[in-house]
Amino acid sequence: MRSRVETAFRLAAAFAAAVFLFAYAPAARADALDDARASGLVGERLDGYLGLVDPNAPAAVKTLVEDVNKKRAHHYETIAKKEGTNATAVAALAGVKLVERAPAGQFVMDASGTWKKK
């Protein structure tokens, strides 16, 4: 049987681990996304989603793109419901802004569906 001190210690350790994961996991993902963009593996599309510039990108990059796109889709849907419009319109507006804000040297997809380096 565990003592109260041991139980409290385990709970504190679990809480600290959860705080660490929630605090640093998004930052780690953002760093990975920045690295993938800088490496020319992914880029912004006009439809508001990330795209794979290099179809032979590592599996981890493909998973990252899928994860980011799922989160974006959810965010676009939330905004669309709030504003009384559809998610496609919200995503398209976001896509234009994301492409415009992409820094020089990163890839963006143009209206013809071609990747261009900014």
pLDDT recorded at residue 11: 42
pLDDT digits (tens, 9 = 90+) for 28-53: 567 899 999 999 999 999 999 999 99
Domain spans in the chain, listed from the N-terminal domain onward: 29-117
Does this model's pTM top 0.95? My answer is: no
Q: Please, are residues 106 and 118 in contact by the beta-carbon 8 Å criterion?
A: yes
Nearest CA-CA partner of 90 in 42, 28, 98, 114: 98
pLDDT recorded at residue 4: 58
